[in-house]
């Protein structure tokens, strides 16, 4: 059981920026007036970041991964979170076996 110093540095940096985002609202309350366009861009941050993080594994790894990602995306339109994960994992194992 050990703590790598560089890992700890990463945790610390992540914790500081996260805490900043959580308390920044105290200073901004009532003063934040975003245009509808800026609001749309702000709302788009979570999906944009999530997709940017997984795109290499979904689109640039192999056909098995890309096909499994497509099936997971289809499943995501009707199934709850954990079911989508299960479908994606089973699909990638099956595609890797046949491709």
Which residues between 31 and 90 bind other proteins (CB under 8 A)?
32, 36-60, 65, 68-69, 72-73, 75-77, 79, 81-82, 84-85, 87-90
CB of 8 to other proteins, least distance (A): 7
Residue of 43, 54, 47 whose CA lies nearest to 85: 54
Residue 43: Cβ-neighbour burial (10 angstroms; 0-12, 13-18, 19+): exposed
CB of 43 to other proteins, least distance (A): 7
> In angstroms, rounded to a whole number, what is the distance separating the alpha carbons of residues 56 and 66?
10
Of 8 and 63, nearer to other proteins (C-beta) is 8
**Tokens 């595609």 sit on residue:** 95
Decide if residue 98 touches other proteins (CB under 8 A): no
CB of 95 to other proteins, least distance (A): 9
Q: Quote the CA–CA distance of 64 and 94 in Å, as a whole number.
A: 8
> Is 13 one of the binding residues for other proteins (CB under 8 A)?
yes
Q: How far is the CB of 99 from other proteins (least distance, A)?
A: 13
């Amino acid at each position: 059981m050990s703590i790598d110093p560089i890992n700890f540095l990463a945790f610390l940096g992540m914790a500081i920026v996260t805490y900043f985002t959580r308390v920044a609202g105290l200073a901004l309350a009532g003063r934040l007036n975003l245009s509808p366009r800026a609001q749309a861009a702000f709302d788009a941050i979570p999906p944009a970041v999530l997709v940017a993080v997984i795109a290499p594994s979904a689109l640039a790894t192999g056909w098995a991964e890309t096909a499994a990602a497509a099936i997971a995306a289809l499943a995501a339109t009707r199934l709850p979170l954990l079911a989508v994960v299960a479908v994606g994992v089973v699909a990638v194992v099956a595609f890797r076996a046949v491709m």
